[in-house]
A = this chain, B = another copy of it.
């Protein structure tokens, strides 16, 4: 790879964060308004450079999250990918490591030193052309949302969107918001309980808001879901004109 004289080139290492949360049954992403060039004034994912040579990459991600949006204690950061094409950043060769996190109702973020403002935006809005994020952040966000959708099927991630304890219908709202579909409450009820170790009863307590009180659950011990929560069938989505349409994997309408 190198002879003794040749010295490998350096690159600037950055982190970017896709932080997703649920607000009012819609999926939101944390964005900041950039306070410095380049892309000053544009919306972007929170992130920034490594502070020094020794800083761990995940640690840098947590630090930036705190500095730019005042958020601490975000539970789990999952590596999403690397974005390092030459030319993606006008400041030079910047390679960015993207992380994905998911959390229950997070507090209103506060603007930090390099960010003129931090805010939650619905992901559909953030992905429209009118929002146009800085750098290649639209791409990163798109990858992050897709990753979240897939993870919901095979991992116990959905409970991370909820609070300490939750009802089954609250958990259902997570799936509906992230997947953008409607699910049958009765079948969801059983399906989620049949996944062994996914959720466990949290005391005989009950909480209410409307009809019959619901049992409370908390996240179970397992990470990998079996059987998985499959997304293809049973999924019913709102059509543009308000009626319901079957979602098929091909994207067409089922016969």
Q: A residues near B, CB below 8 A?
A: 1-2, 8-14, 36, 47-57, 64, 67-68, 79, 81-82, 84-86, 92-93, 95, 97, 113-114, 196, 224, 226, 232, 249-250
Contact of A49 with B8 in the complex, beta carbons under 8 Å: yes
The chain B residue sitting closest to A50, CB to CB, is: B9
- What is the minimal beta-carbon distance from A252 to any residue of chain B, in angstroms? 12
CA distance A201 to B198 in the complex (A): 42
Chain B residues whose C-beta falls within 8 Å of the C-beta of A9 in the assembled complex: 12-13, 49-53
Contacts of A12 in B (CB 8 A): 8-11
Report yes or no: B114 in contact with A2, Cβ–Cβ below 8 A: yes
Closest to A92 in B: B53
Alpha-carbon distance between A193 and B113 when the two chains are bound, in angstroms: 57
Asked whether A55 lies within 8 Å of B13 as measured between CB atoms, the reply is no
Question: DSSP class of A's interface residues: helix, strand, loop or mixed?
Answer: loop
Could you pull out 20 A-B pairs where Cβ atoms are within 8 angstroms?
A: A1-B36, A1-B67, A1-B113, A1-B114, A2-B36, A2-B48, A2-B114, A8-B12, A8-B13, A8-B50, A9-B12, A9-B50, A13-B84, A53-B92, A55-B86, A56-B85, A57-B82, A82-B97, A84-B97, A95-B97
Contact check, B64 vs A1: say whether CB atoms are below 8 A apart. Answer: yes
Chain B residue, CB-CB nearest to A248: B226
CA distance A113 to B68 in the complex (A): 46
Are A95 and B55 touching (Cβ within 8 A)? Answer: no
Query: Measured between alpha carbons, how far is A232 from B48 in the docked complex, in Å?
Result: 41
Q: With a CB–CB cut-off of 8 A, which chain B residues contact A226?
A: 232, 249-250
Query: CB < 8 Å: which of B11, B67, B224 contacts A11?
Result: B11
Chain B residues lying within 8 Å of A249, measured Cβ to Cβ, are 224, 226
